[in-house]
């Protein structure tokens, strides 16, 4: 694929033919042939075109705060 940006150890290693994807974080992944997909965070994984995933599941899940410095769990 092309036009991909992968930042972090192991980030984007599963991507083979996808284009226009972004993966940021340790082992953040986008599917093998996705288009315009974004994964942000340690072990975050996105599996659909034109989608964004913030954080992973389990111990790597994130809480998102809007208008607060301490997001609820």
**Which residues neighbour 58 within 8 Å (Cβ) at sequence distance 6 or greater?**
none
Strands (E), the chain: 5-7, 22-24, 29-30, 38-40, 45-46, 52-54
pLDDT value at residue 11: 98
> Does position 28 have pLDDT exceeding 90, yes or no?
yes
pLDDT value at residue 12: 96
The residue-averaged pLDDT of 41-52 equals 96
Distance CA 36, CA 19 (A): 7
The residue-averaged pLDDT of 52-66 equals 90
The residue-averaged pLDDT of 46-54 equals 96
Residue 70 CB burial class (10 angstroms; 0-12, 13-18, ≥19): exposed
pLDDT value at residue 52: 96
């Amino acid at each position: 694929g092309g036009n991909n940006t992968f930042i972090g150890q192991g980030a984007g290693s599963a991507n083979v033919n996808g284009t226009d994807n972004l993966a940021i974080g340790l082992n953040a992944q986008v599917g093998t042939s996705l288009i315009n997909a974004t994964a942000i965070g340690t072990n975050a994984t996105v599996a659909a075109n034109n989608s964004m995933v913030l954080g992973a599941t389990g111990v790597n899940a994130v809480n998102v705060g809007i208008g607060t410095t301490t997001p609820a769990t």
